[in-house]
Structures are given as C-alpha cells and as structure tokens.
Structure 1
Amino acid sequence: MMVASNTIHKTKSTPTQDLSDFAAARFASKEKNLASPASLKDARQRNFPQAAFLSDSRNICLSKDSYEQEHLLRKGPGASVHLSLEGLNKSLRKIKDTEIYVISSPEELKQLLDLHHSEENPMPSPDDMFPYLHGSAGLREKVYFDARFDPSSELQFLAEDSETISRRFPPDTFAKPTELGFHLMTVNSRAESNPYLTNSVVIEDMLVFRETGDIDVSPERLDLSNFKQFKDFTQTFDTPCCPLAQTNRNFMLQTTLMAPLSHFVVYNNEMDLASNFEVAKILEYLQSSCHKRNIYVVDFPTRQWPKVDQYFTQTSVWHRSGKKKRFFNKSTDFTQPGSLYYLEQNLVWLVYNMTQPFPNLYVGNALNFKQSIPGTRSGLQHDFQLYIYCHEKARMPSRSLLNLILQDMPAKGLKEPLFLEFSSAIFRAEAMSEDVASCFLTFLKLVSVIVKEHQQNALIHSYDGFSGTSFLLLGLGLLWRCDYVEEMALDLFRQPEFKLQLSFSEFLVLKSLEARIQLLKPQLQNATILLPDLCSETGPILDQPLVRPADWLRSENETTFPDFIHKSLYLGSVSHASSTTLLSALQISKVVSIGEKPRWYGALNCTFRHDATPATEGPVIEPIYLFNKGHSSVYEVQITSPETRARLFHHNAVPALDSFIYIHGLEDDGRDSMFLLFVGCPQWVQEKLLISPDQKYKALVLCRIGVSRSATLCIASVMKHFHMSLVESFLYVRVRRLNVVIQPNLRLFYELFLYDEHLRSRRQQNDKKSGEAFFCWWTFCTEIHRLNQQYIE
C-alpha cells in the first residue's frame, strides 16, 4: 500500500526538574513512492471547486471464549450513541447540493466530539478488526492471517501457485472489519498548529496511490484519479510473501486503514470554509457511494474556539504525583503531534535520575548535571568537585595530564571543580597498548584520590544517565569493592535504580585489566605513590583462581540483564531465565515464560499435556487455563520438593525459585490473542500473570527476546496495578528496557488499547470528567511509528 506522506508536526521539549536481540527493531513498512504534501496542496487548488453557499447497536464481542465471561465485559455503543448522533444530524444544516453537514457552533462540535470520546463508544473487539488492521494486500499475506489457515502446519501451502491458493481461499471470502461503531476523524484542512484539536490528521494521511506503470507522476498530472477510493483498500494482489516475516507491525498504516470506517469533521484555525469544503469534497470522493459516512465542516467565529478548549492539545506538565506510580499528571497532553519522543526522553531523565552507587560518587543524566553545576541549589547541596562526562566522542585526558593534576592537587583536595571527559570506545582488548592501559589506571587513581582520600563528591554523567558510564563504574568497583568483573557487575545489577549497560568487548577489556587493578591497589589509592611506567608486573594475585559465573557473561549474547519494572517484577529474555546466576542474584521466586523453555526445564522431569504421548513417562502437567479456543494454554509447575530442587539446581544455586509458569501456543505472529488473559480469565489465574507490586516474591516475565509478548504482560501489569494509562505504561516499560526497543505486535497493542478502555470504564473515568487527553487508536499508532523511527534513523 503506497501512502501519501504527511508533514510531521513536532513540538519542542520543555524538560523540568521533576523529570524522573533487537537494537531498534525494523518494523515492516509498505510506504513507497511518497507524494509530497506541497504537490498535493497544489493539486487541490487546481482540481477542486470553491466552496458553495450554505443553505437554510453494536455489542462488543471479545471472542467465543469471552461470552462465557460476560460479567467481565461491558456492552458496546448501542442505540444511545447512534440515536444521539442521528438527533444531532437532524439539527444541522447541509451545504447546498451535498450531504456535508455544517457545525455552526462550538456546542455542536463539542457534542459530536463528546459522542466519539464517550465511555459508551469503545473500539470494536480484536476479532472484529483483525486481520484487517494488519493492512495485508498480498494474497499470501491474507491467507497467513486468515483464521482458516494454520501456519504451524501449513506454511508450505503458501509456496503453491496463486491459482491453487485462490481456489481454497477465494479473494472475496477474507474477513472484513465490522461496519458498526462510531469512529470520528478530526481533519485539519490546513495542517495548522494552533488551535489543534486532539487526534487531528490531515488529508494526506488518507491518500493512497493507485498502482500504475508510471515510475513518477508529475505534479501537473496529479489529481484524484491517482488515488484509491476507500472501497479499493481491501483488494487482493498476487505478490510474493515471506511467511516468517509477516507485516504485523504496520503502525504507520492505521490512519489510512481506519479512514474507510470513519466519519470526518473538517476544521482549520481561521474558519476558512473554502479550505474545509475542498477537503470535504476529497473525502466525499474517497468514500464513493458504497462507503458513505458523515462528513462535517466546522464554521463558527474563531473567537468561540475557547468553548471547546478541552479538546485542544496543550503544553505538557511533568511531575511525580502523590504516592501512586504516576510520572505524568492529569494535564499531561499525550496527543500533541510528535509528543511521544519528547515524553519518552523526559521519562528517561525521570527514571534514571541521580543515584549513588558508591560513597561520595554519584551517577546522573544531563539534567542532573545542569542542576548541579556550581551556583545552583543542587550544586550547593552536593558540592561536586569532580565532573566526568561520558560520551562516545570524548577527548580523554592524557596520562601525563592526569599525573600533573595529581601532583598539583592541594593536600585537602580540589579547591575548584574539575571537569573531565571519558569514553570507553578507546579501549579495545585486542589492540590495547600499555600506554592506554596505564592511562585508564591513572584515571581510576585520580577519581579514587578525590573521592576516597579527600572525601570530595564526584558526578559521573551522560546524556541519559547510564550510557557510557558502566565501564568506568565497574573499573572503580574493581578498585574499591570486588575482585572480579562478574562479581562487580552483579553487585551493580542488584541495585534497581541503576541501569548497567555493558558490551562484551568492554567486558573483555575489564577482564584483561582485572588482575592488574588488584595488584596495584596500593598505588591506585594513594596520591603520593606513582604508578610504574609499565603496568605489566606479575605476582601472586595474577595466579589467583577465578570463581566466575558458569552461565553468564560468556558471549556477546550474555552481557545484558533483566530489567526492573517494579519491586516484584522483572522483564527479560529466555537467556536471562536460563541463567541460574541471574536468577540467584535477583532471588527470583517465579518465572513466567511465554513460548520458551529455559535450559534447566528438562531437569524438572515432567511433560506438559500438549507434548504428552501414550509413551510418555513421568508426571504430565495439566493446563490451569485454556484460551484462544483451546489453542493456547497456561501451565504451572511447582518447584517444592527437595529432590526436584537438588536435580534442578546444583548446590541450591537458586534457593528462592518455587514456581515455573509456561504459556504455550501464544506466538508473536499477529494472529494469537492475549486479551482474555486481561479480561476473561479467572482472577486467580490473572494474579499469576499480571504481577502485583504487593507480592512478596520477585517474578521474571520473559519470551524469546523480551520485546513483544512478555512486554505486553508487563505493560498490562503496570496499567492495572498503578492505574496508569496505556501511554504512560507503554513508555515506562520501554524506558525500563531501553537496551532493546520493546514493541508488541499490532494485535497485542490493540488489545492493550482495549484493556485501557476497560480499566478506565471500571474506574468510571473518561476524558470529560478526568481532564485527561486520550489518543484515538489511529493517531496513537502514528505517534508510535514516529517514535520508533527515531531509533531506526
């Protein structure tokens, strides 16, 4: 699907003092041959007439399984929303010779927007909207997502010729989205920024080029005939397909895909009816006769805009409110175009705030540095005498300069703040010279003398508060606290307020320096003793046997750590769960795994029911809950007997682990659903999956990598237990697991969106009463796409 591009409206960030094994996953995109907004604007001016004169029950169906849990589900918009809409329409005027309604007062506009944002107007169920929202156009893609197809056993069928596939799956039999519901798109006809109604889009978001043989269409030839009408969006094309790389993260297409299902209200800042009418006529053409929805144009005096200001985007206000886990207050505007990137960055600064891993030594971010320089309140509080800025392009001081600073240092320490830079990028284990090694050791010596001998405060800082700092902190830890890198890494890892980020090459460098640091501790911690010219002395300590973790920090895939979500919950990968070292370090009591079995699973000596055969020996574990029509199942294995523990973990390496929960048949393919785990399963089952911070144990939730299915569970847990919105929870979990970019697939994210509606409904909150601005599905997805593009680019 080729979509016309839309200008990205970005806002400037306004940070405040209170801001507390994929790198940047490349989500599949179908954006090609983009048209410029300027060309489209010129085309509108050439091809569309001036404005004419004015003349005087659906029910939410969550799935067949969910009907058995009707008491948990609320009803969708029935007669009330549609009758109210019908009544409003009867009171409105129409533009002459058209079916376009005119909103002539702010009260009418507010009534229309209130209906759309009403608690009685939830989004349709996932089964009603998928696979349509995946945006698949190719025959084989549509077959892959079709409910009649089983990818676990039929993938080879997609290699058949198109005629064979079409006989089994005729193109006109693919599921279509529900036509029910009231979706309202606010369209800014001039793409102006003020006033800007929340969840606004522009007409370019809905223009999809027709497939033609032309490589390029000149602006002079561009008119409406170049664009698809909404009725053409469900056409099927015979295109190649890679079954293992399906497009299940098409966040950028959601506005385009929701447009055929939506009504439209068109406005602009100056109440220029001509511009509004032009865009309304384009929408009328796109709708065609078989996709008719209401189109409204706004036309009242501009001085009356403040009467609907609750639906305007506003400046965000950041603070941590009360004792609840909230990082944004109720006036925070999540719907400002381009806002998620700035919200995420500010949340990084809020979460990775200044910490103190060692006495007199602090680690912080760019804001902490700005707030702590001499003359500021924080600067007076901490009285930092040493600032070390860690970044990739740092200009490291030479060894001779470091020695000169040490020699000239007054007996009572620094009298004026010292500013240095540090970068671990210059250290490479395979090519590290003795001069470079000596320079690093001298750097450690300078920091140690200032912090330990003179008892002066130092701040190690980077832009986000953790990138580039771990190498230096581990080196100092080897000098002050632990003898081995692995031991020191685990010691920092146990501190939830500190984020450890270490590459395998950095680990190897530190290992190569480990013994030297131990040998030279007296010289490194005393200002009067100079280091030897060559740090190559050998001694007893170099031959000291190393008791190191047997199952971690062994390769490039084993240098990350599970991420702290809250005091009872960590998010990670199957590699993390397989490490008894990490499980023991965190004292994990429960492992919740989606689709992956840790390396130690075989020692449990049991078989899950779906794997059992007549020849199976030993215990067979029955599921505690079935969902997705029996395709998916939840198991729990209690690890309680001494025999099992002894067999599972040698020398009782993980004494706290007593429960292994395994979710089978839940793939990250855009087909499988998790929604019943949020709203349909028994409470006692949900409590095992959506971990509460009130639990006395610690749980590790994981899938293969820890970016989609397990991240979805963690986001839902935060939403439920901390009363946080999906926007807050999604950004919070992303920021906590920032070493990879978490992104649930589109269906799972839609289910989280519905769960957000469900929780707000149970709390009897809506945007009118609470004052909070909520995203529409399509604009939220657009912002997610923009956010992810920041990492890809």
Structure 2
Amino acid sequence: MPMPARSPTPPPHLSLNTSSRGTPTAIPNKHIPVCSPGGLPATPPASPPRQDSLIETSSITYPPDTYCSAYSDDPPVYTITADRMAEALEHIATQPLPNPEQVFPWMHGLHAENQIQLAFFSSRRRSVRKVPRCIRSITIVKTGGNLSASKLKGAIAPEEILDSTSDDPTFIECDPKDGFSVRNFQIQACKLAMVSDIIVYGDHKAHPNETIALAHKISKAQRQYEARNGFPRCLFNTFMLSDSFKVVQEKYPKLIAIDSTGGMTGNIVDFFYWERYEMCEMSKASEISKNVFLGPTPDPSLHSECQGEEAYDMFIEATDLAHVPESRSLRALRMGLEKIQRKAALHMEFPSSGSIMPPTWSHGEVDGLMEMCKWIYELANPHEVKRSKRRRDDDDEAIEMDDIATPRKFLIHCTDGYTETTLLALAYFMYAEGVPVHDAWIQMHRDKSRNFFAYPSDVALLTAIQPRILQESPRFNESVFNLPEPHWLSKIDGSLPSRILPYMYLGNLGHANNPELLRELGITRILSVGESLSWPEDVTKKLNWPSDKFLMIDRVQDNGVDPLWAEFERCLKFIEAGKQDGGATLVHCRVGVSRSATICIAEVMNELGLSFPRAYCFVRARRLNVIIQPHLRFTYELLKWEEYQRQRRNETLRRELEWSTVAREIALMNKPYSR
C-alpha cells in the first residue's frame, strides 16, 4: 500500500531510552495484559531436543579488508561503499537464522546479578550465558541519532548501544539486572549490535568529523567486548559509509525507510503504520441498519477506501468528553439537515461506551439515549415514519410525497471504529431492528460482520433498559419479551472472541469455557494451547461436541523455554479441517495473547502468504482492545516459520526485517502502554 506523505510514526522523540513522557498517545482502550509464566519451577524444564543441524550465519563484511578499505588502524575502522553495503544487507537477509536452541536463553537477557532470571535459565546448562558464536548480524547506526529523516533500513541511534555514562567507550549493559521477563524486546537491538559489523553513516547535516568520532567510539567498544568474551580480535568491525545518503537514496531506494525530507517511503515495513492500516481495514465502515453506518473516524490518507464528508449527512463521534445531547440540540440539527442543502456533513458527539455507569445512571441519560435512537431512526427512515404516522392517524389526512424528507445517512464513528461506539451502536440496533440485547450482540458480529468491544457496564445497562428499548421500537413485537435470556450472556465480560479470519477466532480461557456463546458465533472447533477446558458435565452432555472437534496442545507454558514450532503443522491442519467443514475454530490459551496468538499468526502467514511483520500487525489489530504478546522465543520461531513458508513455496529466502529490527519495533509499539 502507498504510504501517506507525512511524518513517520513513532515520532522522532520516541526511543527505547526515553522516559514515559516521551511516548506518543496510545491507541484508546488497548492494554497489555499480564502473561504469567505459571510460576518459576524449582527444577527448570530441560532444553527441547534439537531437530535441525546447527546453523551459523555468514557475512560478506568479514574479513573486513576483502572488499573494504581501512580508514584507521587504531582503533580499526573501515570505509564501505553504498554498493557493498546494499550487497551485505541483502546477503544477511537471505541467510537462515540460527535455530532457537542455539540463541536462547541468551537472547532473554542473563545478567550476572539477576538471580531470578539466572535461577530459571542458567541451571539448565552452565554455558547458557556465553555469547552464541553462531550468530552474526549487521547494525546500522546514524550519526546524531535523529531518525525522523534520512533513515536507512533498520537504522538505530548511537545511544541505543553506547553507554554514555562510561569514561571509556563501551556498549550498554542491556541485560536487565532484576526481575523475570521473557519479553525483553527492548534489549535485542543492543544485544545484536554486539555481534554485528556496524555501519555508521550521517546525513547532510552531520559533519564528517562527527561520523569519524562515532565510528572510533564504536570500534573501541567492540574491542572491549571482544576481550571480555574471549573473542578473536576484530571478529566484528566498524565501517563508515563512504557515499552520501543522497547517493544511497538514488541507487537503492528500497533501503530507505524515511527520505531526507522526513517522508515515509513505504519501502520498509513500518509497524505503527501497518497496525493502524489493519485496524482501519478490519473496522471499515459498514451499514448496520438502513442508512446507519458504523466505522472508524475517516482517514483517507491511511486507507484509500475511507469515505469522507460526501458519503454521509451526519457524523456522530463517540467520545469520553461528550454529554448526552439535549432535545433542543437535536431539533436544531434536524432543522439543519432538513432545511439546508449542505455540501458537507454535520458533526455531533455522543458519550462513549462505558460512560453511562450502573447503578448510578440517571433517568436523564437513559431518556437521552432513547431520544437519540429515535432521532436517528426518523431521519434515516423518513418514508417508514410517514407511513407509520398515516396508519395511526384516525383522520387519515393526506400526506403529499413532497413532504417526505430525503433519507439521511449517518456514520457512528470513533478512533478505532469499535470501542467507544459500541453502546450507541448496540442500543440503536436493538431499537431499529426490535431485537433483544443478546440477539443484537450476535447479529452485529455474525450477520453484520462487525468486530466490537463493549464494557461490562454496557452489558448491564442495555440488559436493564431492554424492555423500554423494545417497547419504543418501531418494530415492537410482544413475542420478544417471552424469550429467555441465554446463559452465555451473563458469562461474557463485554468482549467476544476476536475474529482473526472468517474461520479462526482468538480468545481466552473464559471464551473457551462458554460453549453456548461459541455455538452462537458458529465456532465448531476448539484448539487449546497449554490450557485445559472445564465445562460443566451437564453442558457437555447437552451440547454433545464430537471429540474430534477438540485439540489439546499440552506441556506448553508461556515461560520462554517451551517451544511451539513443532506444533505449528498439527495446529494448522486442525484449523484447516474446520475451514473445510464450513465452521470456525477458537484458538485459545489462558489470556489469548501469547501461545494462541502465535498459532494465529502462523496461520495468517500460511493462509495469506504474509511476512511475519505484516501478519503480526494483522493479528494485533484484530485482537481489538488486548495487545498480543508472543514472547521472544515464540516471535523468533515465527521468523523461522517465515523461512519455512518461503521454502515450501519454492521462493528465495529473504526476510523483510531482521530480528533486531522486529524486536525493536515491537518494543516501541508497546512502550506507550507500559507502566
């Protein structure tokens, strides 16, 4: 997709080393859930057996003097041309990554003083803290560290790898000194830089002496790191790019992430952009009832299919700052719509989901919600309203067709297209279609193909005022009051399982233990990753699910040790069988963000042929308010899965992004949500 001609995200001030005040505004209502490893066992699990031969990454920048010229001997620094750099980066991208067993748990971060982390990993084998000799990478560092313009693919700032507090040039001690984590994405760029040939470059604003000084610092840090770890001298080296950024931009545009003017080129996968693009694609506006649409706030620069002012007569934005509109405001807006021929749509606001809280909601708030639903319906369906008035009018006064107003189109919208709008959208759907809350919930998702999130307070409110909504509905039918409330409604916390593909859902253990809800959604298979179901016996007998519709992947904890790679094929065959049967599969673990998300990403890569970065953003956007969190090892296994996918399709191995860049981007995406 073409990238918008605007400044990149994240903003230039966002880096892995900034404080929380330097982060951009997070996407509303998203949060990072807690993913417990299930407790640290007294005896850590054994390493899984190696299934493949050892892999060692090769590089064409070693030995350095083969194609590059020496600039200085003490410290050793070399120059590299744009041609040679492009060739070296291409070579690295086509090299298979070492197998996970070769680089983990070293990549988790094993600081000598971190007793918790060491107790879990190091007792598995004594050599665990040693730097793997099989891995070799290339790191690009920009002089000055301003990555908001003239950014090469994968470039990082000097402060991300060099310790500014040390008198002698040295790398940052990036392994965490305390705590236990298997999601240390923020340290990977630095860890990989220590086992990299490092290329330093500057843009037109950087003085050559600055680049030379930075290259000398990095080379000295490499010598210190080599001595500390017993490496041969100059196993990894520092290079300065001898060509200007302008030359690289002209000769190798596919290596340019951000051009010299600060514009995103679209040649390099940008996680921030793709998450928002996939979110917009997933929640793009659609009609939920006649002339009433639901979707995200239109942004044509982000998605080409977004329709703007010309497509609607009224935009209703759901926001936390809004109040329930008064009757006189609605009358004024009605007059504006009926009497004035406008080229641009009118705009108004309405309180967002979760803002009308039980049990303290006022009659005025409920009255306002009902008046809002009636107001929208009458303007969206003037012909039906007129016919209804004629049938109720005893005098049967003649109504001229000219008196019937033109139907008006409404867009109920919010930033993400599914969170803040849910209360108003569900209430209106119940009112316009005359259906109870549980039917509205299912029909909006299943029949109208809307993915949405609602707060528990929305469920409580709509359930409490359901009789009034249905009685005032233009499609009032007394039979709806005789329908019993389904058991599954009381068990949901506001969220449905996340529809990733039409035949695959991603959810948590609570979703998996709500079989009546799964049946309503058309889910006929359950894939449990490391977590067992606990259905009541009477429910099991009543639903009579065949045993071949369940698959349990056992002995896989979210601990950074247990692999999932070996289970990918079995899981995907199970999901494919459900697709062929015309049903859908729920993939779940405990929280629905790590183990099960990993399986879903693997299926998206397999089904849609996407690279890992794009598949990750695809699933992340569709998990709605919960941020997926596959840990380091699972993420690495998915990059290896990408290699296998290319091999199976007889394609040349070539990664879009390297491991260090993938990890760095994920860390930056999660930083606004970290506490």
TM range (shorter): 0.7 to 0.9
Report if aligned partners of 2:430, 2:437 keep a CA contact under 8 Å in 1: yes
Quote how far apart the aligned CAs of 1:498 are: 0.8
CA–CA distance in structure 2, aligned partners of residues 442 and 656 of structure 1: 48
The 3-state SS of whatever aligns with 1:461 is strand
Normalising by structure 1, we get a TM-score of 0.68
- What residue number does 2:656 align with? 774
The 3-state SS of whatever aligns with 1:313 is strand
Report if aligned partners of 2:283, 2:417 keep a CA contact under 8 Å in 1: yes
Listed one character per residue, the Cα deviations across residues 228-268 of structure 1 (whole Å, up to 9, x for unaligned) are 558x778x97x6x6xxxx21111111112222222212221
Q: Are 1:725 and 2:604 matched, yes or no?
A: no
Q: Equivalences for 1:662-681 in 2 at 5 Å? A: 662-678=552-568
- What residue number does 1:94 align with? 70
Quote how far apart the aligned CAs of 1:286 are: 1.9
- What residue number does 2:85 align with? 109
CA–CA distance in structure 1, aligned partners of residues 302 and 221 of structure 2: 53
How many residues of Structure 1 are paired with residues of Structure 2 in the alignment?
603
CA–CA distance in structure 2, aligned partners of residues 66 and 767 of structure 1: 20
Report if aligned partners of 2:527, 2:587 keep a CA contact under 8 Å in 1: yes
Work out which of the residue numbers 427, 444, 447 in structure 2 matches 1:475.
427
Quote how far apart the aligned CAs of 1:175 are: 4.2
Work out which of the residue numbers 519, 522, 542 in structure 2 matches 1:584.
519
CA–CA distance in structure 2, aligned partners of residues 6 and 281 of structure 1: 25
Quote how far apart the aligned CAs of 1:713 are: 0.2
Quote how far apart the aligned CAs of 1:565 are: 1.1
Report if aligned partners of 2:64, 2:78 keep a CA contact under 8 Å in 1: no
Normalising by structure 2, we get a TM-score of 0.79
Structure 1 residues 546 and 464: CA distance shift in structure 2, 3 A:
same
Q: Are 1:134 and 2:119 matched, yes or no?
A: no
CA–CA distance in structure 1, aligned partners of residues 85 and 18 of structure 2: 25
- What residue number does 2:11 align with? none
The 3-state SS of whatever aligns with 1:224 is coil
CA–CA distance in structure 1, aligned partners of residues 23 and 493 of structure 2: 38
CA–CA distance in structure 1, aligned partners of residues 565 and 356 of structure 2: 48
CA–CA distance in structure 2, aligned partners of residues 191 and 368 of structure 1: 31
Work out which of the residue numbers 379, 394, 401 in structure 2 matches 1:450.
379
CA–CA distance in structure 2, aligned partners of residues 792 and 693 of structure 1: 37
- What residue number does 2:641 align with? 755
Work out which of the residue numbers 306, 311, 315 in structure 1 matches 2:255.
311
Quote how far apart the aligned CAs of 1:741 are: 0.8
- What residue number does 2:532 align with? 597
- What residue number does 1:23 align with? 31
Q: Are 1:364 and 2:300 matched, yes or no?
A: no
Work out which of the residue numbers 22, 31, 51 in structure 2 matches 1:66.
51
- What residue number does 1:258 align with? 192
Q: Equivalences for 1:202-213 in 2 at 5 Å? A: 202-208=157-163
CA–CA distance in structure 2, aligned partners of residues 313 and 661 of structure 1: 42
Listed one character per residue, the Cα deviations across residues 567-593 of structure 1 (whole Å, up to 9, x for unaligned) are 211111111111122211122221001
What is the percent sequence identity of the aligned residues? 21
CA–CA distance in structure 2, aligned partners of residues 504 and 115 of structure 1: 52
- What residue number does 1:440 align with? 369
Letter aligned with residue 576 of structure 1 = H
CA–CA distance in structure 2, aligned partners of residues 592 and 365 of structure 1: 31
Letter aligned with residue 665 of structure 1 = R
- What residue number does 1:519 align with? 471
The 3-state SS of whatever aligns with 2:213 is helix
Structure 1 residues 5 and 440: CA distance shift in structure 2, 3 A:
closer
Report if aligned partners of 1:444, 1:475 keep a CA contact under 8 Å in 2: yes
Listed one character per residue, the Cα deviations across residues 626-649 of structure 1 (whole Å, up to 9, x for unaligned) are xxxxxxxxxxxxxxxxxxxx8724
CA–CA distance in structure 2, aligned partners of residues 22 and 599 of structure 1: 28
Quote how far apart the aligned CAs of 1:360 are: 1.6
Report if aligned partners of 2:283, 2:296 keep a CA contact under 8 Å in 1: yes
CA–CA distance in structure 2, aligned partners of residues 11 and 110 of structure 1: 32
CA–CA distance in structure 1, aligned partners of residues 218 and 578 of structure 2: 47
- What residue number does 1:784 align with? 666
- What residue number does 1:184 align with? 138
Structure 2: gaps of 5 or more residues: 1-14, 37-46, 384-406
Quote how far apart the aligned CAs of 1:663 are: 1.0
Structure 1 residues 332 and 5: CA distance shift in structure 2, 3 A:
same
- What residue number does 2:416 align with? 464
Q: Equivalences for 1:39-58 in 2 at 5 Å? A: none
Listed one character per residue, the Cα deviations across residues 387-433 of structure 1 (whole Å, up to 9, x for unaligned) are 31211112432134435666x699x8985555332114552332222
Listed one character per residue, the Cα deviations across residues 61-101 of structure 1 (whole Å, up to 9, x for unaligned) are x963524xx7xxxx8457xx45x545663343223433634
RMSD: 3.9
- What residue number does 2:273 align with? 342
Quote how far apart the aligned CAs of 1:113 are: 2.5
CA–CA distance in structure 2, aligned partners of residues 673 and 111 of structure 1: 34
CA–CA distance in structure 1, aligned partners of residues 114 and 307 of structure 2: 64
Quote how far apart the aligned CAs of 1:307 are: 2.8
Structure 1 residues 204 and 669: CA distance shift in structure 2, 3 A:
same
Listed one character per residue, the Cα deviations across residues 464-514 of structure 1 (whole Å, up to 9, x for unaligned) are 212221111211222232442122112212147312221111221112211
Quote how far apart the aligned CAs of 1:728 are: 0.7
The 3-state SS of whatever aligns with 1:145 is helix
Report if aligned partners of 1:413, 1:456 keep a CA contact under 8 Å in 2: no
Report if aligned partners of 1:142, 1:174 keep a CA contact under 8 Å in 2: no
- What residue number does 1:494 align with? 446
Q: Are 1:387 and 2:330 matched, yes or no?
A: no
| Structure 1 stretches of 4+ moved >6 Å | 10-13, 368-372, 540-543, 654-657
CA–CA distance in structure 2, aligned partners of residues 228 and 655 of structure 1: 61
Report if aligned partners of 1:587, 1:656 keep a CA contact under 8 Å in 2: no
- What residue number does 1:648 align with? 540
- What residue number does 1:550 align with? 487
CA–CA distance in structure 2, aligned partners of residues 692 and 199 of structure 1: 39
CA–CA distance in structure 1, aligned partners of residues 481 and 252 of structure 2: 73
CA–CA distance in structure 1, aligned partners of residues 23 and 110 of structure 2: 32
Letter aligned with residue 201 of structure 1 = I
Structure 1 residues 359 and 109: CA distance shift in structure 2, 3 A:
same
Q: Are 1:276 and 2:211 matched, yes or no?
A: yes
Quote how far apart the aligned CAs of 1:132 are: 1.1
Report if aligned partners of 1:429, 1:512 keep a CA contact under 8 Å in 2: no
CA–CA distance in structure 2, aligned partners of residues 677 and 436 of structure 1: 51
Structure 1: gaps of 5 or more residues: 14-20, 29-61, 150-168, 210-221, 316-327, 526-539, 604-645
- What residue number does 2:285 align with? 354
Q: Equivalences for 1:235-250 in 2 at 5 Å? A: 246-250=180-184
Quote how far apart the aligned CAs of 1:303 are: 5.9
Report if aligned partners of 1:486, 1:548 keep a CA contact under 8 Å in 2: yes
Listed one character per residue, the Cα deviations across residues 340-381 of structure 1 (whole Å, up to 9, x for unaligned) are 223312321222111111122111222169999xxx98655x
Quote how far apart the aligned CAs of 1:685 are: 6.1
CA–CA distance in structure 2, aligned partners of residues 541 and 476 of structure 1: 19
